[in-house]
Structure 1
Amino acid sequence: MSQNNQPVDWKLLYKDVIYVFKKDKEIRPKTLGQQKYINSVRKNDIVFVIGPAGTGKTYLAVAIALSALKNKEVDRIILVRPAVEAGESLGYLPGDLLEKIDPYFRPLYDAMYEMMPSEKFQKYMERGIIEIAPLAYMRGRTLNNSFIILDDAQNTTLGQMKMFLTRFGFGSKVIINGDTKD
Protein backbone atom coordinates (compact mmCIF):
# COMPACT_ATOMS: atom_id res chain seq x y z
CA MET A 1 0.00 0.00 0.00
CA SER A 2 1.13 3.54 -0.65
CA GLN A 3 1.07 6.34 1.91
CA ASN A 4 -2.51 7.26 1.05
CA ASN A 5 -3.66 3.60 1.29
CA GLN A 6 -3.90 3.18 -2.47
CA PRO A 7 -2.63 -0.12 -3.88
CA VAL A 8 0.82 0.05 -5.47
CA ASP A 9 1.32 -1.48 -8.90
CA TRP A 10 4.84 -2.83 -8.37
CA LYS A 11 5.12 -3.86 -12.04
CA LEU A 12 4.91 -0.20 -13.06
CA LEU A 13 7.58 0.69 -10.52
CA TYR A 14 10.15 -1.57 -12.14
CA LYS A 15 9.21 -0.62 -15.72
CA ASP A 16 10.56 2.89 -15.23
CA VAL A 17 14.10 3.01 -16.63
CA ILE A 18 16.60 5.84 -16.71
CA TYR A 19 19.05 5.41 -19.57
CA VAL A 20 22.52 6.82 -19.11
CA PHE A 21 25.68 6.83 -21.24
CA LYS A 22 26.80 3.24 -20.73
CA LYS A 23 24.98 0.97 -23.16
CA ASP A 24 24.58 -1.85 -20.66
CA LYS A 25 23.50 0.42 -17.79
CA GLU A 26 19.85 0.90 -16.91
CA ILE A 27 18.93 2.67 -13.69
CA ARG A 28 15.63 1.62 -12.13
CA PRO A 29 13.96 2.78 -8.94
CA LYS A 30 14.26 0.22 -6.17
CA THR A 31 11.60 1.64 -3.85
CA LEU A 32 8.35 3.54 -4.06
CA GLY A 33 10.14 6.54 -2.55
CA GLN A 34 12.71 6.49 -5.37
CA GLN A 35 9.90 6.29 -7.94
CA LYS A 36 8.23 9.32 -6.35
CA TYR A 37 11.60 11.12 -6.44
CA ILE A 38 12.00 10.42 -10.18
CA ASN A 39 8.41 11.47 -10.94
CA SER A 40 8.84 14.66 -8.93
CA VAL A 41 11.95 15.63 -10.89
CA ARG A 42 10.14 14.97 -14.16
CA LYS A 43 7.20 17.20 -13.14
CA ASN A 44 9.01 20.04 -11.34
CA ASP A 45 11.91 22.37 -12.05
CA ILE A 46 13.17 22.30 -8.47
CA VAL A 47 13.04 19.32 -6.12
CA PHE A 48 14.20 18.98 -2.52
CA VAL A 49 15.17 15.42 -1.55
CA ILE A 50 15.68 14.49 2.09
CA GLY A 51 16.74 11.08 3.28
CA PRO A 52 19.38 9.15 5.17
CA ALA A 53 22.65 7.96 3.69
CA GLY A 54 22.33 5.10 1.24
CA THR A 55 18.85 5.87 -0.07
CA GLY A 56 20.00 6.85 -3.56
CA LYS A 57 19.65 10.63 -3.34
CA THR A 58 22.93 11.44 -5.09
CA TYR A 59 22.98 8.38 -7.35
CA LEU A 60 19.50 9.03 -8.77
CA ALA A 61 20.18 12.76 -9.13
CA VAL A 62 23.23 11.98 -11.28
CA ALA A 63 21.30 9.37 -13.31
CA ILE A 64 18.41 11.75 -14.00
CA ALA A 65 20.81 14.58 -14.91
CA LEU A 66 22.79 12.37 -17.30
CA SER A 67 19.57 11.15 -18.89
CA ALA A 68 18.42 14.75 -19.40
CA LEU A 69 21.79 15.62 -20.97
CA LYS A 70 21.72 12.55 -23.20
CA ASN A 71 18.17 13.41 -24.35
CA LYS A 72 19.22 17.04 -25.03
CA GLU A 73 16.77 18.39 -22.45
CA VAL A 74 19.63 20.47 -20.96
CA ASP A 75 22.95 21.75 -22.30
CA ARG A 76 25.07 20.98 -19.25
CA ILE A 77 25.23 19.54 -15.76
CA ILE A 78 26.47 21.59 -12.81
CA LEU A 79 27.55 19.63 -9.71
CA VAL A 80 27.55 21.71 -6.53
CA ARG A 81 28.59 20.84 -2.98
CA PRO A 82 29.52 22.90 0.04
CA ALA A 83 33.18 22.33 0.95
CA VAL A 84 32.57 21.08 4.48
CA GLU A 85 34.81 18.53 6.15
CA ALA A 86 33.29 15.60 8.04
CA GLY A 87 34.62 16.34 11.50
CA GLU A 88 38.32 16.24 10.60
CA SER A 89 40.47 19.00 9.26
CA LEU A 90 42.15 18.29 5.96
CA GLY A 91 44.46 21.23 6.44
CA TYR A 92 46.26 22.77 3.52
CA LEU A 93 45.55 21.03 0.23
CA PRO A 94 48.03 21.55 -2.60
CA GLY A 95 47.02 22.12 -6.21
CA ASP A 96 44.61 24.20 -8.24
CA LEU A 97 40.95 24.73 -7.34
CA LEU A 98 39.77 21.49 -8.96
CA GLU A 99 42.41 19.47 -7.10
CA LYS A 100 41.52 21.13 -3.79
CA ILE A 101 37.79 20.43 -4.08
CA ASP A 102 38.19 16.95 -5.57
CA PRO A 103 37.73 15.10 -2.22
CA TYR A 104 34.40 16.86 -1.58
CA PHE A 105 32.98 15.84 -4.98
CA ARG A 106 34.08 12.20 -4.85
CA PRO A 107 30.51 10.82 -4.26
CA LEU A 108 29.32 12.60 -7.41
CA TYR A 109 32.35 11.43 -9.41
CA ASP A 110 31.77 7.84 -8.29
CA ALA A 111 28.19 7.92 -9.60
CA MET A 112 29.27 9.59 -12.85
CA TYR A 113 32.00 7.03 -13.52
CA GLU A 114 29.53 4.22 -12.98
CA MET A 115 27.11 5.67 -15.52
CA MET A 116 29.39 6.92 -18.27
CA PRO A 117 32.80 6.04 -19.70
CA SER A 118 35.59 7.94 -17.93
CA GLU A 119 36.91 9.34 -21.25
CA LYS A 120 33.50 10.86 -21.99
CA PHE A 121 33.32 12.32 -18.48
CA GLN A 122 36.77 13.91 -18.90
CA LYS A 123 35.85 15.28 -22.34
CA TYR A 124 32.63 16.78 -20.97
CA MET A 125 34.55 18.34 -18.07
CA GLU A 126 37.06 19.92 -20.48
CA ARG A 127 34.25 21.33 -22.64
CA GLY A 128 32.26 22.63 -19.67
CA ILE A 129 29.34 20.31 -20.39
CA ILE A 130 29.83 18.89 -16.90
CA GLU A 131 31.00 21.48 -14.41
CA ILE A 132 32.15 21.16 -10.83
CA ALA A 133 31.15 24.26 -8.88
CA PRO A 134 31.92 24.78 -5.20
CA LEU A 135 28.99 26.54 -3.57
CA ALA A 136 31.27 29.40 -2.49
CA TYR A 137 31.88 30.30 -6.17
CA MET A 138 28.23 30.42 -7.31
CA ARG A 139 27.54 34.07 -6.49
CA GLY A 140 26.64 36.24 -9.48
CA ARG A 141 25.95 33.39 -11.88
CA THR A 142 22.74 32.59 -13.76
CA LEU A 143 22.56 29.00 -14.94
CA ASN A 144 20.25 28.60 -17.95
CA ASN A 145 19.48 25.28 -19.67
CA SER A 146 21.35 23.40 -16.97
CA PHE A 147 20.72 20.48 -14.68
CA ILE A 148 22.04 21.55 -11.29
CA ILE A 149 22.59 19.16 -8.38
CA LEU A 150 23.28 20.59 -4.93
CA ASP A 151 24.51 17.59 -2.96
CA ASP A 152 24.79 17.49 0.84
CA ALA A 153 22.64 20.60 1.17
CA GLN A 154 22.32 20.10 4.93
CA ASN A 155 25.83 21.56 5.17
CA THR A 156 24.83 24.92 3.69
CA THR A 157 24.11 28.04 5.68
CA LEU A 158 20.82 29.89 5.24
CA GLY A 159 22.69 32.59 3.31
CA GLN A 160 24.32 30.05 0.99
CA MET A 161 20.97 28.39 0.32
CA LYS A 162 19.31 31.73 -0.49
CA MET A 163 22.17 32.58 -2.84
CA PHE A 164 21.99 29.16 -4.52
CA LEU A 165 18.22 29.31 -5.05
CA THR A 166 18.64 32.48 -7.11
CA ARG A 167 21.24 30.98 -9.47
CA PHE A 168 19.13 28.87 -11.79
CA GLY A 169 17.58 30.41 -14.87
CA PHE A 170 15.41 29.50 -17.85
CA GLY A 171 15.23 25.87 -18.89
CA SER A 172 17.05 24.60 -15.81
CA LYS A 173 16.23 21.80 -13.40
CA VAL A 174 17.53 21.68 -9.84
CA ILE A 175 17.83 18.84 -7.35
CA ILE A 176 18.75 19.81 -3.80
CA ASN A 177 19.46 16.81 -1.63
CA GLY A 178 20.58 16.19 1.89
CA ASP A 179 20.10 14.42 5.18
CA THR A 180 18.56 16.59 7.88
CA LYS A 181 19.76 14.15 10.54
CA ASP A 182 23.40 14.35 9.39
Structure 2
Amino acid sequence: MSANRVVVIEDAERMPELMGSGDSVMKEIERAFPGVDLHVRGNRISLTGDEADVAAAATAIEELRSVMAAGVPLTPDVARQSVRILSAARGVAAAAADAGGAAGAAGAGASAASPVSVLSRSILSSRGRTIRPKTQGQADYVTAIENHTVTFGIGPAGTGKTYLAMAQAVAALQAKKVNRIVLTRPAVEAGERLGFLPGGLNEKIDPYLRPLYDALHDMVDPESIPRLMEAGTIEVAPLAYMRGRTLNDAFVILDEAQNTTREQMKMFLTRLGFGSTMVVTGDVTQVDLPGGTMSGLRSSREVLAGIDDIAICELSAEDVVRHRLVSDIITAYAKDDESRAPRGGGQQRRFTRPEGQQ
Protein backbone atom coordinates (compact mmCIF):
# COMPACT_ATOMS: atom_id res chain seq x y z
CA MET A 1 0.00 0.00 0.00
CA SER A 2 1.47 3.36 -1.08
CA ALA A 3 1.90 6.16 1.44
CA ASN A 4 3.18 9.74 1.64
CA ARG A 5 4.82 11.29 4.66
CA VAL A 6 6.55 14.60 5.38
CA VAL A 7 9.19 15.01 8.06
CA VAL A 8 9.59 18.65 9.09
CA ILE A 9 12.94 19.68 10.58
CA GLU A 10 11.96 22.54 12.87
CA ASP A 11 15.54 23.70 13.40
CA ALA A 12 16.18 24.59 9.76
CA GLU A 13 19.72 25.78 10.52
CA ARG A 14 20.75 22.18 11.19
CA MET A 15 19.48 20.83 7.87
CA PRO A 16 22.97 20.88 6.26
CA GLU A 17 24.28 18.82 9.18
CA LEU A 18 21.40 16.35 8.87
CA MET A 19 21.94 16.03 5.12
CA GLY A 20 25.68 15.47 5.55
CA SER A 21 28.58 16.59 3.41
CA GLY A 22 27.46 16.37 -0.20
CA ASP A 23 24.11 14.99 1.05
CA SER A 24 26.02 11.82 2.02
CA VAL A 25 23.92 11.07 5.11
CA MET A 26 20.60 11.33 3.31
CA LYS A 27 21.98 9.30 0.40
CA GLU A 28 22.69 6.54 2.90
CA ILE A 29 19.03 6.59 3.93
CA GLU A 30 18.01 6.38 0.26
CA ARG A 31 20.35 3.44 -0.23
CA ALA A 32 18.90 1.65 2.81
CA PHE A 33 15.32 2.10 1.55
CA PRO A 34 15.47 1.80 -2.25
CA GLY A 35 11.67 1.57 -2.50
CA VAL A 36 11.19 5.04 -0.99
CA ASP A 37 11.36 8.25 -3.05
CA LEU A 38 12.95 10.94 -0.92
CA HIS A 39 12.75 14.65 -1.78
CA VAL A 40 14.11 17.56 0.24
CA ARG A 41 12.82 21.10 -0.02
CA GLY A 42 13.91 23.63 2.57
CA ASN A 43 13.38 22.02 5.96
CA ARG A 44 10.83 19.45 4.70
CA ILE A 45 11.71 15.88 3.75
CA SER A 46 9.00 14.13 1.69
CA LEU A 47 8.84 10.33 1.62
CA THR A 48 6.77 8.32 -0.87
CA GLY A 49 6.56 4.56 -1.28
CA ASP A 50 5.33 1.41 0.41
CA GLU A 51 3.70 2.23 3.73
CA ALA A 52 6.01 0.04 5.83
CA ASP A 53 9.16 1.31 4.08
CA VAL A 54 8.06 4.95 4.41
CA ALA A 55 7.42 4.47 8.13
CA ALA A 56 10.84 2.83 8.59
CA ALA A 57 12.64 5.58 6.63
CA ALA A 58 10.85 8.31 8.60
CA THR A 59 11.83 6.61 11.87
CA ALA A 60 15.45 6.46 10.69
CA ILE A 61 15.45 10.20 9.94
CA GLU A 62 13.89 11.00 13.32
CA GLU A 63 16.53 8.88 15.04
CA LEU A 64 19.29 10.71 13.16
CA ARG A 65 17.84 13.97 14.48
CA SER A 66 18.07 12.57 18.01
CA VAL A 67 21.62 11.35 17.44
CA MET A 68 22.58 14.78 16.10
CA ALA A 69 20.92 16.51 19.08
CA ALA A 70 22.99 14.29 21.41
CA GLY A 71 26.15 15.82 19.95
CA VAL A 72 27.24 12.97 17.68
CA PRO A 73 28.57 14.21 14.29
CA LEU A 74 26.51 12.68 11.49
CA THR A 75 28.39 10.68 8.88
CA PRO A 76 27.31 8.02 6.36
CA ASP A 77 28.67 5.41 8.77
CA VAL A 78 26.49 6.75 11.62
CA ALA A 79 23.46 6.68 9.30
CA ARG A 80 24.26 3.12 8.22
CA GLN A 81 24.64 1.94 11.82
CA SER A 82 21.40 3.68 12.84
CA VAL A 83 19.47 1.88 10.10
CA ARG A 84 21.09 -1.42 11.11
CA ILE A 85 20.12 -0.97 14.79
CA LEU A 86 16.55 -0.07 13.88
CA SER A 87 16.33 -3.05 11.51
CA ALA A 88 17.56 -5.39 14.26
CA ALA A 89 15.02 -3.92 16.69
CA ARG A 90 12.21 -4.52 14.19
CA GLY A 91 13.40 -8.10 13.74
CA VAL A 92 13.35 -8.66 17.51
CA ALA A 93 9.86 -7.18 17.78
CA ALA A 94 8.59 -9.31 14.88
CA ALA A 95 10.01 -12.49 16.43
CA ALA A 96 8.44 -11.60 19.78
CA ALA A 97 5.11 -10.96 18.09
CA ASP A 98 5.22 -14.39 16.46
CA ALA A 99 6.06 -16.00 19.80
CA GLY A 100 3.90 -14.02 22.23
CA GLY A 101 1.48 -11.79 20.35
CA ALA A 102 1.11 -8.03 20.64
CA ALA A 103 2.15 -7.90 24.31
CA GLY A 104 5.41 -9.69 23.52
CA ALA A 105 6.11 -7.34 20.63
CA ALA A 106 5.51 -4.31 22.86
CA GLY A 107 7.89 -5.70 25.49
CA ALA A 108 10.57 -6.43 22.90
CA GLY A 109 10.21 -2.97 21.41
CA ALA A 110 10.59 -1.39 24.82
CA SER A 111 13.75 -3.39 25.61
CA ALA A 112 15.45 -2.87 22.22
CA ALA A 113 18.08 -0.15 22.23
CA SER A 114 17.62 2.87 20.00
CA PRO A 115 20.39 4.30 17.80
CA VAL A 116 20.76 7.36 20.03
CA SER A 117 21.23 5.22 23.15
CA VAL A 118 23.98 3.24 21.42
CA LEU A 119 25.75 5.83 19.27
CA SER A 120 25.72 8.70 21.78
CA ARG A 121 27.34 6.70 24.55
CA SER A 122 30.80 8.07 25.34
CA ILE A 123 33.53 5.79 26.66
CA LEU A 124 36.54 8.06 26.42
CA SER A 125 37.31 11.54 25.11
CA SER A 126 40.92 11.77 24.06
CA ARG A 127 43.00 13.96 21.80
CA GLY A 128 40.05 15.86 20.38
CA ARG A 129 37.76 12.93 19.62
CA THR A 130 35.32 10.70 21.44
CA ILE A 131 35.39 6.91 21.39
CA ARG A 132 31.93 5.35 21.30
CA PRO A 133 30.38 1.96 20.49
CA LYS A 134 28.95 1.92 17.00
CA THR A 135 26.68 -1.13 17.07
CA GLN A 136 24.29 -2.79 19.51
CA GLY A 137 26.74 -5.67 19.96
CA GLN A 138 29.55 -3.26 20.84
CA ALA A 139 27.30 -1.42 23.30
CA ASP A 140 26.43 -4.72 25.02
CA TYR A 141 30.15 -5.57 25.13
CA VAL A 142 31.02 -2.24 26.78
CA THR A 143 28.22 -2.71 29.33
CA ALA A 144 29.48 -6.22 30.11
CA ILE A 145 32.99 -4.89 30.80
CA GLU A 146 31.56 -2.29 33.18
CA ASN A 147 29.43 -4.81 35.07
CA HIS A 148 31.66 -7.90 35.25
CA THR A 149 35.09 -8.72 36.64
CA VAL A 150 36.02 -10.94 33.69
CA THR A 151 34.67 -10.37 30.17
CA PHE A 152 35.33 -12.37 27.02
CA GLY A 153 34.98 -10.50 23.73
CA ILE A 154 34.82 -13.10 20.96
CA GLY A 155 34.30 -12.09 17.35
CA PRO A 156 35.85 -11.51 13.93
CA ALA A 157 38.38 -8.87 12.96
CA GLY A 158 37.17 -5.28 12.95
CA THR A 159 34.50 -5.59 15.63
CA GLY A 160 36.37 -3.32 18.06
CA LYS A 161 37.09 -6.01 20.65
CA THR A 162 40.55 -4.77 21.60
CA TYR A 163 39.98 -1.10 20.83
CA LEU A 164 36.91 -0.75 23.06
CA ALA A 165 38.56 -2.74 25.83
CA MET A 166 41.56 -0.43 25.63
CA ALA A 167 39.30 2.63 25.81
CA GLN A 168 37.60 1.18 28.88
CA ALA A 169 41.01 0.56 30.45
CA VAL A 170 42.22 4.12 29.88
CA ALA A 171 38.92 5.51 31.17
CA ALA A 172 39.20 3.36 34.32
CA LEU A 173 42.76 4.57 34.86
CA GLN A 174 41.76 8.21 34.44
CA ALA A 175 38.87 7.73 36.88
CA LYS A 176 41.33 6.12 39.35
CA LYS A 177 39.30 2.91 39.44
CA VAL A 178 42.56 1.03 38.83
CA ASN A 179 46.21 1.88 39.41
CA ARG A 180 47.63 0.40 36.22
CA ILE A 181 46.89 -1.14 32.84
CA VAL A 182 48.43 -4.46 31.83
CA LEU A 183 48.28 -5.40 28.14
CA THR A 184 49.39 -8.82 26.97
CA ARG A 185 49.13 -11.23 24.08
CA PRO A 186 50.72 -14.57 23.16
CA ALA A 187 53.77 -14.44 20.90
CA VAL A 188 52.54 -16.65 18.06
CA GLU A 189 53.27 -16.04 14.37
CA ALA A 190 50.29 -15.65 12.03
CA GLY A 191 51.39 -18.33 9.60
CA GLU A 192 54.85 -16.93 8.89
CA ARG A 193 58.08 -17.95 10.56
CA LEU A 194 59.76 -14.76 11.72
CA GLY A 195 62.97 -16.52 12.70
CA PHE A 196 65.63 -14.85 14.80
CA LEU A 197 64.57 -11.22 15.02
CA PRO A 198 67.35 -8.65 15.50
CA GLY A 199 67.91 -6.54 18.59
CA GLY A 200 67.38 -7.04 22.30
CA LEU A 201 64.41 -8.64 24.02
CA ASN A 202 62.14 -5.61 23.61
CA GLU A 203 62.90 -5.39 19.90
CA LYS A 204 62.24 -9.12 19.45
CA ILE A 205 58.77 -9.04 21.04
CA ASP A 206 57.78 -5.63 19.65
CA PRO A 207 56.20 -7.00 16.41
CA TYR A 208 53.84 -9.17 18.46
CA LEU A 209 52.75 -6.30 20.70
CA ARG A 210 52.62 -3.55 18.06
CA PRO A 211 48.80 -3.64 17.66
CA LEU A 212 48.43 -2.89 21.37
CA TYR A 213 50.83 0.04 21.09
CA ASP A 214 48.91 1.38 18.10
CA ALA A 215 45.61 1.42 20.01
CA LEU A 216 47.32 2.93 23.05
CA HIS A 217 48.75 5.78 20.99
CA ASP A 218 45.23 6.66 19.82
CA MET A 219 44.06 7.19 23.40
CA VAL A 220 47.02 8.48 25.39
CA ASP A 221 49.37 11.34 24.63
CA PRO A 222 52.30 9.59 22.89
CA GLU A 223 54.82 11.76 24.75
CA SER A 224 53.51 10.52 28.11
CA ILE A 225 53.52 6.81 27.22
CA PRO A 226 57.27 6.20 27.90
CA ARG A 227 56.91 7.91 31.29
CA LEU A 228 53.82 5.85 32.19
CA MET A 229 55.53 2.64 31.11
CA GLU A 230 58.67 3.46 33.04
CA ALA A 231 56.57 4.05 36.16
CA GLY A 232 54.73 0.76 35.63
CA THR A 233 51.35 2.48 35.18
CA ILE A 234 51.09 0.94 31.73
CA GLU A 235 52.69 -2.41 31.02
CA VAL A 236 52.80 -4.18 27.66
CA ALA A 237 54.27 -7.67 27.82
CA PRO A 238 54.01 -11.11 26.22
CA LEU A 239 51.77 -13.64 27.93
CA ALA A 240 54.75 -15.73 29.12
CA TYR A 241 55.63 -12.89 31.53
CA MET A 242 52.35 -13.32 33.44
CA ARG A 243 53.24 -16.62 35.11
CA GLY A 244 53.70 -16.39 38.90
CA ARG A 245 52.14 -12.92 39.21
CA THR A 246 49.07 -11.63 41.04
CA LEU A 247 47.56 -8.56 39.40
CA ASN A 248 45.79 -6.34 41.95
CA ASP A 249 44.04 -3.03 41.18
CA ALA A 250 44.74 -3.46 37.48
CA PHE A 251 42.82 -3.43 34.22
CA VAL A 252 44.22 -6.44 32.36
CA ILE A 253 43.63 -7.13 28.64
CA LEU A 254 44.61 -10.37 26.93
CA ASP A 255 44.52 -9.88 23.17
CA GLU A 256 44.58 -12.57 20.45
CA ALA A 257 43.49 -15.10 23.06
CA GLN A 258 42.61 -17.68 20.40
CA ASN A 259 46.36 -18.33 20.20
CA THR A 260 46.65 -19.40 23.83
CA THR A 261 46.66 -23.03 24.83
CA ARG A 262 44.18 -24.33 27.39
CA GLU A 263 46.95 -24.29 30.02
CA GLN A 264 48.03 -20.74 29.16
CA MET A 265 44.45 -19.47 29.44
CA LYS A 266 44.04 -21.08 32.85
CA MET A 267 47.36 -19.57 33.94
CA PHE A 268 46.31 -16.10 32.78
CA LEU A 269 42.85 -16.13 34.36
CA THR A 270 44.28 -17.22 37.72
CA ARG A 271 46.48 -14.08 37.80
CA LEU A 272 43.32 -12.13 38.78
CA GLY A 273 43.79 -10.12 41.96
CA PHE A 274 41.62 -7.90 44.13
CA GLY A 275 40.16 -4.76 42.57
CA SER A 276 41.07 -5.88 39.04
CA THR A 277 39.14 -6.19 35.79
CA MET A 278 40.07 -8.64 33.04
CA VAL A 279 39.08 -8.55 29.38
CA VAL A 280 39.96 -11.43 27.06
CA THR A 281 39.59 -10.85 23.32
CA GLY A 282 40.02 -13.10 20.32
CA ASP A 283 38.67 -14.59 17.11
CA VAL A 284 38.16 -18.35 17.22
CA THR A 285 38.21 -18.49 13.40
CA GLN A 286 41.82 -17.25 13.22
CA VAL A 287 43.78 -19.71 15.35
CA ASP A 288 47.51 -19.82 14.56
CA LEU A 289 48.43 -22.64 16.96
CA PRO A 290 50.09 -25.80 15.64
CA GLY A 291 47.66 -28.39 14.31
CA GLY A 292 45.87 -30.39 16.97
CA THR A 293 46.44 -27.85 19.76
CA MET A 294 43.23 -26.87 21.53
CA SER A 295 42.63 -23.11 21.62
CA GLY A 296 42.37 -21.80 25.16
CA LEU A 297 39.72 -19.31 24.05
CA ARG A 298 37.45 -22.00 22.62
CA SER A 299 37.93 -24.13 25.71
CA SER A 300 37.21 -21.29 28.16
CA ARG A 301 34.02 -20.35 26.29
CA GLU A 302 32.68 -23.79 27.12
CA VAL A 303 34.21 -24.31 30.56
CA LEU A 304 33.35 -20.90 32.05
CA ALA A 305 29.86 -20.41 30.60
CA GLY A 306 27.34 -19.69 33.35
CA ILE A 307 29.83 -18.67 36.04
CA ASP A 308 28.71 -15.60 37.98
CA ASP A 309 30.61 -12.35 37.23
CA ILE A 310 32.03 -13.72 33.98
CA ALA A 311 30.49 -12.36 30.76
CA ILE A 312 30.96 -13.98 27.35
CA CYS A 313 30.11 -11.56 24.53
CA GLU A 314 29.80 -12.88 20.99
CA LEU A 315 30.31 -10.23 18.31
CA SER A 316 29.53 -10.93 14.66
CA ALA A 317 30.01 -9.56 11.16
CA GLU A 318 27.15 -7.15 11.96
CA ASP A 319 29.48 -5.44 14.47
CA VAL A 320 32.37 -4.86 12.06
CA VAL A 321 33.24 -1.16 11.92
CA ARG A 322 36.13 -1.27 9.47
CA HIS A 323 35.65 -0.91 5.72
CA ARG A 324 32.25 -2.33 4.73
CA LEU A 325 34.02 -5.02 2.68
CA VAL A 326 35.47 -6.53 5.87
CA SER A 327 32.00 -7.62 6.96
CA ASP A 328 31.35 -9.15 3.52
CA ILE A 329 34.72 -10.94 3.56
CA ILE A 330 34.03 -12.41 7.02
CA THR A 331 30.58 -13.58 5.97
CA ALA A 332 31.95 -15.14 2.76
CA TYR A 333 34.66 -17.07 4.62
CA ALA A 334 32.13 -18.24 7.25
CA LYS A 335 29.90 -19.65 4.50
CA ASP A 336 32.86 -21.33 2.82
CA ASP A 337 34.03 -22.86 6.12
CA GLU A 338 30.53 -24.16 6.74
CA SER A 339 30.39 -25.75 3.29
CA ARG A 340 33.78 -27.41 3.85
CA ALA A 341 32.91 -28.74 7.32
CA PRO A 342 32.64 -32.55 7.40
CA ARG A 343 29.14 -33.97 7.67
CA GLY A 344 28.17 -35.80 10.82
CA GLY A 345 29.36 -33.23 13.37
CA GLY A 346 33.00 -34.24 13.77
CA GLN A 347 36.28 -34.77 12.04
CA GLN A 348 36.14 -37.79 9.72
CA ARG A 349 39.15 -40.06 9.43
CA ARG A 350 39.66 -42.63 6.73
CA PHE A 351 41.64 -45.76 7.52
CA THR A 352 42.98 -48.11 4.87
CA ARG A 353 42.18 -51.72 5.63
CA PRO A 354 44.69 -54.46 4.85
CA GLU A 355 43.95 -56.39 1.69
CA GLY A 356 41.38 -59.11 2.17
CA GLN A 357 39.99 -57.65 5.42
CA GLN A 358 36.33 -56.65 5.38
TM interval, short-chain normalised: over 0.9
Post-superposition shift, 1:128? Answer: 0.8
Gap runs ≥5 in structure 2: 1-87, 94-107, 287-358
3-state SS of paired residue (1:91): coil
Letter in 2 for 1:47: T
Equivalent residues in 2 for 1:137-148, closer than 5 Å: 137-148=241-252
Q: Which residue of structure 2 lines up, in the alignment, with residue 17 of structure 1?
A: 122
SS at the partner of 2:153?
A: strand
TM-score of the aligned structures, taking structure 1 as reference length: 0.95
Give the Cα–Cα distance (whole angstroms) in 1 for the partners of residues 138 and 252 of structure 2. 19
Where does residue 174 of structure 1 map in the other structure?
278
Rounded Cα–Cα distance in structure 1 between residues aligned with 2:185 and 2:210:
10
1:108-127 equivalence runs, <5 A: 108-127=212-231
- Structure 1 gaps, min length 5: none
Describe how 1:62-141 pairs up with structure 2 within 5 A: 62-141=166-245
Q: Secondary structure at the match of 1:53?
A: coil
Q: Answer with 1 or 2: which has the greater Rg.
A: 2
CA-based RMSD: 1.4
- C-alpha displacement at 1:115, in angstroms? 1.2
Look up the SS of the partner of 1:101 in the other structure: helix
Which amino acid is the alignment partner of residue 122 of structure 2? V
Contact 1:76 1:128 in 2 (8 A): yes
Counterpart of 1:151 in structure 2 is: 255
The one-letter code sitting in structure 2 at the alignment partner of 1:40 is A
Deviation for aligned residue 1:47 = 0.1
What do residues 136-175 of structure 1 show as CA deviations (whole Å, max 9, x unaligned)? 1211100000000000000000000010010010000000
- 1:45 correspondence with 2:159: no
Seq. identity, %: 55
1:59 aligns with 2:163: yes
CA shift, 1:28, in A, is 0.7
SS of equivalent to 1:148: strand
Contact 1:20 1:63 in 2 (8 A): no
Q: Is the 8 A contact 2:124 2:132 kept in 1?
A: no
Q: Decide whether the 8 Å contact of 1:21 with 1:70 is kept in 2.
A: no
TM-score by length of 2: 0.49
User: Deviation of residue 51 (structure 1)?
Assistant: 0.5
CA distance in 2, matches of 1:148, 1:136: 14
Per-residue deviation at 1:21?
Answer: 4.2
Distance 1:20 1:172, change over 3 A: farther
